[in-house]
């Protein structure tokens, strides 16, 4: 490794062994010096060696450019075969009656509400018509999700399935990296996009960008039951104003849980013309209540030790890898782990091996699920407490899609709640912490500038429960509000304080609003799921909440 003509050193053998084959196959990497270390004298008076920390990472920009070229070639070569879209989304399967009805009405230009349970294919109801309209007529669709994590999970699956057809798909929320955000804004400026997966806060705060070449043709409101209980959440409470601000596009609303009051509120807010309710109830799923079990590793080892087939869901990549490692001691090569950090080729290999029976147990994060249709999963283990109702239902709903009996094992407990609250605080600092970080920056900056990485700044400020992730999130919010300028110079990364207005309302920031929503969603979910009877949780999974005083369908004939 060199900096110009200056030799810096060598990669460790283990790292080089992993990177070299990727370079040979065309992957590009970039490297930069993140910190200078050592120097000075140790306590015994000896001079300490100097060193450097070098970060080596995949050149995402180069990867995206390559993918963009492939996508454009596919787009120009589109042959009009609509069955390719169906196959890309649901493989060999055919859409069921409710899906077909909803898609027909969307393609007819109607404002439609669809209500169907987990595992009944809500995402197909918008992904298919959005792709048809984009490739056939150049129309644009935006899909709203209540939480950033859901938006990001869906983005992974749709990109993999639809980009080979030529679809230009972006995600839009406050958690995406700066370079991805720049590309998104460039696409919005030029209109070079087909489908954007976003939070309602993003669309609300950036409504002016969705005009001219980027006018929205179809707005999909997924998990639309939030519209019916949006007293506290402005992104859904003000959705009628957002619709007006982006040109009043056609609407498709989808949910698995809508009661009579919510049904009325959704119809009024979104001006729904037609609806279809799928009455299917899954009776083959059974909850095994092991909440608070003291030895989770022993539990899963006993469960899968005799050849059972299933998925173990964990909250982090580190935990997924650790659980898989320990389970391998009992189950050998029947076990694999899966998360968004695993290389794409290896993820494909795990999926295929699980589908074909080469492995029986996948230990995964939420990345394993969306778009991965596996009918014969007999056991699903929720190893940690989920962050919201939707994630809980989606993961539990992976079990028994072939209609045969399947079990969902709940291994989480009250301790998981504290951990999740801590993780949410790291990624979405509350208002009090944001103020404390900003005051700390002002105190620590020399002539208005503070050098250092996010980890360095966290160490300098010394705020309780404030880590590098908290600093990164806070700096993005401050940058949005023009309170700081972020950059890199000869001394490394820096934060430069800008002249601040007399009054700053950080609560109106898009990223902050998304973080508050995630905290509120988790609090509501945890309050219920930690105290509910197992029978109530089973009903939550297999018996969606439908309005009782409306007919199953109101569909036009034009």
| Mean pLDDT computed over 286-295 | 92
The DSSP output letter for 281 is -
User: Are 313 and 398 contained in the same domain?
Assistant: yes
- In angstroms, rounded to a whole number, what is the distance separating the alpha carbons of residues 437 and 21? 42
User: Are 244 and 315 contained in the same domain?
Assistant: no
pLDDT of residue 35: 65
Better-scored residue on pLDDT, 56 or 204: 204
In a domain, 300, yes or no: yes
pTM: 0.79
Number of domains in the chain: 4
pLDDT of residue 547: 84
User: Are 187 and 42 contained in the same domain?
Assistant: no
In a domain, 67, yes or no: yes
User: Are 45 and 95 contained in the same domain?
Assistant: no
In a domain, 221, yes or no: yes
- Per-residue pLDDT at 418 exceeds 60: yes
Residues 156-213 have pLDDT tens digits of: 889 989 999 999 999 999 888 878 888 999 999 999 999 999 999 999 989 999 999 9
In a domain, 198, yes or no: yes
- Per-residue pLDDT at 302 exceeds 90: yes
| Mean pLDDT computed over 66-89 | 88
Q: What is the CATH number of the domain that holds 462?
A: 1.10.10.10
In a domain, 386, yes or no: yes
In a domain, 33, yes or no: yes
Q: What is the CATH number of the domain that holds 366?
A: 3.40.50.300
Asked which of 259, 281, 303 is the last residue of a domain, the reply is 281
| Mean pLDDT computed over 343-356 | 82
| Mean pLDDT computed over 39-65 | 70
What is the share, in percent, of the chain residues with pLDDT greater than 70?
Answer: 94
**pLDDT band for position 43 (50/70/90)?**
low
**pLDDT band for position 62 (50/70/90)?**
low
Residue whose structure tokens are 């109530």: 536
User: Are 291 and 170 contained in the same domain?
Assistant: no
User: Are 399 and 317 contained in the same domain?
Assistant: yes
- In angstroms, rounded to a whole number, what is the distance separating the alpha carbons of residues 293 and 415? 11
Which residue blocks in 140-245 are alpha helix, DSSP H? 148-162, 178-190, 200-205, 234-237, 239-245
Nearest-Å Rg of the Cα atoms of the chain is 25
In a domain, 173, yes or no: yes
pLDDT of residue 215: 97
Domain range for residue 245? 63-281
- Residue 74 zone, left/alpha/beta (φ > 0; ψ -120 to 50; rest): alpha
User: Are 295 and 407 contained in the same domain?
Assistant: yes
User: Are 89 and 130 contained in the same domain?
Assistant: yes
Residues 208-227 have pLDDT tens digits of: 999 999 999 999 999 888 88
In a domain, 419, yes or no: no
Beta-sheet strands, E only, within 452-535: 484-489, 492-497
User: Are 303 and 243 contained in the same domain?
Assistant: no
**pLDDT band for position 467 (50/70/90)?**
very high
Helix orientation angle between 389-396 and 510-529, rounded to the nearest 10 degrees: 60
User: Are 71 and 202 contained in the same domain?
Assistant: yes
User: Are 276 and 210 contained in the same domain?
Assistant: yes
User: Are 178 and 96 contained in the same domain?
Assistant: yes
**pLDDT band for position 104 (50/70/90)?**
very high
């Amino acid at each position: 490794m060199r900096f110009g003509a200056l030799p810096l050193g060598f990669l460790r053998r283990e790292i080089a062994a992993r990177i070299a084959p990727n370079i040979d196959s065309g992957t590009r990497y970039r490297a930069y010096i993140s910190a200078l270390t050592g120097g000075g004298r140790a306590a015994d008076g000896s001079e300490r060696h100097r060193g450097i920390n070098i970060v080596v990472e995949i050149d995402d920009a180069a990867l995206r450019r390559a993918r963009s070229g492939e996508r454009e070639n596919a787009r120009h070569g589109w042959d009009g075969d609509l069955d390719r879209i169906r196959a890309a989304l649901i493989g060999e399967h055919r859409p069921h009656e409710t899906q077909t009805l909803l898609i027909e009405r969307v393609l007819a230009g109607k404002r439609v509400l669809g209500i169907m349970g987990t595992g009944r294919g809500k995402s197909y109801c918008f992904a298919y018509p959005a792709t048809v309209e984009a490739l056939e007529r150049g129309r644009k669709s935006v899909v709203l999700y209540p939480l950033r994590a859901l938006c990001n999970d869906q983005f992974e699956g749709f990109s993999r399935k639809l980009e080979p057809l030529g679809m230009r798909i972006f995600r839009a929320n406050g958690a995406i990296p700066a370079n991805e955000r720049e590309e998104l804004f460039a696409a919005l400026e030029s209109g070079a996009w087909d489908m954007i997966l976003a939070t309602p806060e993003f669309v609300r705060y950036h409504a002016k960008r969705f005009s001219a070449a980027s006018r929205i043709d179809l707005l999909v409101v997924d998990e639309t039951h939030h519209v019916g209980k949006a007293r506290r959440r402005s992104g859904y409470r003000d959705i009628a104003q957002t619709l007006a601000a982006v040109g009043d596009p056609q609407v498709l609303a989808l949910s698995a849980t809508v009661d009579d009051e919510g049904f009325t509120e959704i119809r009024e807010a979104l001006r729904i013309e037609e609806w279809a309710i799928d009455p299917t109830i899954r009776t083959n799923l059974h909850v095994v209540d092991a909440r608070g079990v003291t030895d989770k590793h022993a539990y899963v080892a006993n469960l899968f030790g005799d050849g059972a087939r299933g998925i173990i869901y964990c909250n982090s990549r580190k935990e997924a890898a650790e659980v898989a490692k320990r389970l391998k001691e009992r189950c050998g090569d029947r076990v694999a782990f899966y998360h968004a950090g695993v290389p794409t080729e290896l993820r494909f290999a795990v999926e295929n091996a699980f589908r074909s029976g080469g492995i029986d147990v996948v230990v995964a994060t939420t990345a394993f699920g969306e778009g991965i249709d596996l009918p014969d999963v007999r056991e699903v283990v929720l190893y940690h407490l989920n962050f919201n109702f939707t994630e809980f239902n989606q993961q539990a709903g992976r079990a028994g899609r072939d209609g045969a009996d399947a079990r969902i094992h709940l291994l989480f407990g009250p301790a998981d709640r504290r951990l999740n609250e801590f993780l949410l605080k790291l990624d979405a600092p509350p208002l009090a912490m944001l103020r404390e970080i900003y005051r700390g920056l002002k105190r620590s900056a020399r002539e208005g500038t503070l050098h250092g990485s996010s980890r360095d700044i966290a160490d300098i400020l010394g705020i309780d429960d404030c880590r590098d992730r908290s600093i990164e999130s806070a700096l993005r919010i401050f940058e949005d509000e023009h309170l700081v300028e972020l950059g890199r110079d000869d001394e490394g990364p820096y934060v430069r304080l800008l002249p601040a207005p007399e009054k700053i309302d950080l609560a109106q920031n898009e990223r902050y609003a998304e973080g508050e929503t995630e905290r509120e969603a988790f609090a509501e979910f945890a309050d219920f799921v930690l105290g509910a009877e197992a029978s109530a949780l089973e009903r939550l999974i297999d018996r969606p909440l439908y309005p009782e005083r409306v007919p199953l369908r109101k569909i036009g004939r034009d």
